[in-house]
Amino acid sequence: MVRMMDLPAEERRRERSYGSSRESLRRPITPDEAGRKLQATVAMKEAWEESRLTRSSRAQTEDNDGCCCDSSCCCCCCPTECRIFIKYIVCRSLGLFLYVMDIVTDITVSVADYRNGDITFAAINLGLVFTPGFLYVMFALTEMLSSNTGILACSKAVLWFLSFPILPLWPICRDLQKIYHGFLALFPSRRQEQLVHLNRPTRSYLLKFLEAFTEAAPQILLRLYKISLRRQELPFSKIETMEAVQVSFSLLTLSSKVISTYQKSVTTQQIIEGELEDNEKFTLPCCVQILAFLWWTSFLVARFEVMALFAGSLHGWLFLVIAVHVMLVFLFQTVASHKHGLRKVFIYLFTGFVFIFAYLEFNMKSRIKVATWFPYTVYTVLVFIENSIMLVVWFSSQKAYTSTLPEEEQALYATHRERLIFVHYGAFCCGLIMMIATFCCPERKQSAKDKEVTEEMRHMSVVAS
């Protein structure tokens, strides 16, 4: 008591409160008090959940100075409205623009070929436009007939088969619908409902994937082959504007689809391995996406150039190179897998066809347990060897073709060949540098605010559904 009287008033109050709290801890809790504490805890949890939902549906006015939105689009933290605007409106609009322009330029070039009398090239170009829809219908028919029988299944099969000419319009309608719901999601009062529509899965992605690898990639090769045939001694010396536009849009479509397919493959694999939840998605930071885009664009430029040059000089021998490439990939997958059904055979063959242009992990990840960069390095080395062999064969045939010409013309053609070789190896080295930079780029570390906004958007879509 004497010791407490010597303390200041504030210290005495703290000492009394501390002593009373110790006495309350030593005193046994009655059942009524335990019930009241339990009710208080439940009420606090409910209030916290309610406040979380309220914060999720309310506009983030305090983050007006944020910069960007979704982690797939930018590396900065930003308000929810900005993330929704960039992810569901800007990025979706750019993807829709590329898809539409790719198809429009292909049809325009087909019409130009028909008017110029190149009926064969016009028919092939137009047929490639409808190839993705036809392949998708075949996939849907196989899946439907394997699980359904009877008259209803047959009638659905007929309807599916008749609908393939208009299937290229499906991704367009889907993207327009996403953009519409994206605008509505900017309003806090309707955000939860619209995020359900925006995050709803769709099979139109499969059609876009088929469009990139069975329409855009063959269109690039076919167009470059046609350009190289105009002057076989000076390939690519005469290119029309519309052809350059068509090749550019097809190349952009293919490069962007390689990156998006990689992200979806990693997402699926990490969900299987338990690293991600079912409603989460793996996305690359924007700087890594830019590096990867430059990597694959440069790589594809070198790849398509050498294939077109080889086909322009040796014509049908390119099909032998493609067949050997597909069979090697097919045999590798067959040996590494224990399932050999008819459907697996078609998947392995299609994978081999895709690997002509790019390496994707959608059918290889589960069988190759190595570092991420290793299979890409092996693929790059093999493609480099294949490209170099085709380039040497083309150079030898071109040199023999121009050996009977005057020396002045031979010097001109030799200079042109050297420029084409420089373009190939320059583009390939640029792609190699971008690949190294992509894998050396440090993984993005989300800030606390970025994680909070990402969790908020994900939680809103889950609650609304």
Check residue 182 and give its pLDDT: 86
Write down the pLDDT at residue 452: 46
Rounded to the nearest integer, the mean pLDDT of the chain is: 75
Decide: 147 and 226 in contact? Cβ < 8 Å. Answer: no
Model confidence at 279: pLDDT above 80: no
In the prediction, which pLDDT does 108 show? 92
Burial of 24 (0-12, 13-18, 19+ CB in 10 A): exposed
Q: Where are the alpha helices (DSSP H) in 148-240?
A: 151-162, 169-184, 191-198, 204-211, 217-230
What's residue 434's pLDDT?
A: 92
What residue segments make up the domains of the chain, in order of their start? 79-264+447-465, 286-359+368-443
**52 has a pLDDT exceeding 50:** no
How far is it, in rounded angstroms, from Cα 391 to Cα 302? Answer: 11
* pLDDT value at residue 426: 94
Tens of pLDDT, residue by residue over 286-327, are 888 889 899 999 999 999 999 999 988 888 888 998 888 888
Instruction: Output DSSP code: residue 442.
Output: P
Cβ contact 171:92 at 8 Å = no
Q: Rounded to an integer, what distance in angstroms lies between the CA atom of residue 356 and that of residue 283?
A: 25
- What gap in Å lies between CA 203 and CA 167, rounded to an integer? 12
pLDDT beyond 80 at 159:
no
| 3-class secondary structure, 370 | coil
281 vs 218: which has the higher pLDDT: 218
Question: What global pTM score does this model have?
Answer: 0.73
Q: With b meaning 16 or more CB within 10 Å and e meaning fewer, what string describes 250-276?
A: bbbbbbbbbbbbbbbbbbbbebeeeeb
Say whether pLDDT at 465 is over 80: no
If you average pLDDT over residues 80-89, what whole number do you get? 81
Measure the CA–CA gap between 78 and 59, rounded to whole angstroms: 12
Token duo for residue 291? 């590096």
Q: Which two tokens stand for residue 382?
A: 């093999």
Poorest-pLDDT segment among 56-60, 271-275, 442-446: 56-60
Query: Given this model, what pLDDT does residue 464 score?
Result: 42
SS3 string of 88-131?
Answer: HHHHHHHHHHHHHHHHHHHHHHHHHHHHCCCHHHHHHHHHHHHH
Q: What is the mean pLDDT of residues 359-376?
A: 68
Contact between 293 and 255 under an 8 Å Cβ cutoff? The reply is: yes
Residues 143-157: tens digit of each pLDDT = 776 666 666 666 666
